[in-house]
Each structure stands twice: as structure tokens, then as C-alpha cells.
Homo-oligomer: A and B are copies of this chain.
Amino acid sequence: MDYIRLLQEHKLKVTPQRLEIVSILNKYGHVNIDSIYEKLKIKFPSLSLATIYKNINIMKDKLFLSELKIPNEKSVYELTKEQHSHIVCTQCKVIIDINLDLNQLENQIIKLSSFSLNESSIVFKGLCPKCKNKNN
């Protein structure tokens, strides 16, 4: 993935801190602020939390970063991809992306509510295969 181009396309200056934030997001997929900070602190000991917040916000504004709100948990961030849904393991907290066919669901909604739809946020919770087995 070309992080430099990603930043440039959004008219952001390419700083080492920014490159590393994007790289962490890309590598880990779903991360919260604290864990971005921890990981970055290793490479940039002088790094400020304020810098992370500023960058997260600017990237959100430019829409190439999305915040995922999860019931009863902290928000995590991910690089914006095509629309997809999430499943969270209630035990080990792993979050995975899933591509669902939402046509049938959207038809139901439009029929029942007469809304016109654009975004959706679909988060399921349950047990991942590993944790399912551990529990037996």
C-alpha cells in the first residue's frame, strides 16, 4: 500500500508520524487511540497524544479514516474501505470485517420505513471460532 500517495491525494504533508499512523492502521486493521499511541511511542519517543488526535481528526474529515463505534466498548479506527460490516468477539475482542449482501435487508427497511438509505453500520457480537472451542 502506498501510504505516501494516500496522504498526498488528500493534500496532507507527508510526515514520518503520519506515515507511521497510516501504516499502523493498515497493519492492524482496527485500533483505538491508545494503542496507536503506544505503538508509535516506540518509534517516536517525543510523540504527543495531541498529534495523534489532530491526525485522526483530519483523516476523519477527509474521509479516509472511519471510526467504528461498538456497543459497550471503545471506538476503533480503520482506513476507509468499501462498505462492510463487522463482527466482534465478546471474549478476545478480535474484530473482523465481513462483506454481507444487504440487498434483502435494505429492501425490508425501505418497505417498512419509507426512508431513502445511504450509510449503514452493522456490528454483530458473538464468539470467534477460537473462543468457541476454548469454552468447551
Contact = CB atoms under 8 A, between A and B. Distances in A.
A112 B99 CA distance: 9
Nearest to A60: B72
A108 B112 contact: no
A112 B126 contact: no
Interface stretch (A7-15, A22-30, A31-39, A115-123): A115-123
Interface of A: 67, 69-72, 85, 87, 89-90, 96, 98-102, 104-106, 108-109, 112-129, 132
A126 to B, nearest CB: 4
A71 B119 CA distance: 10
A112 B98 contact: yes
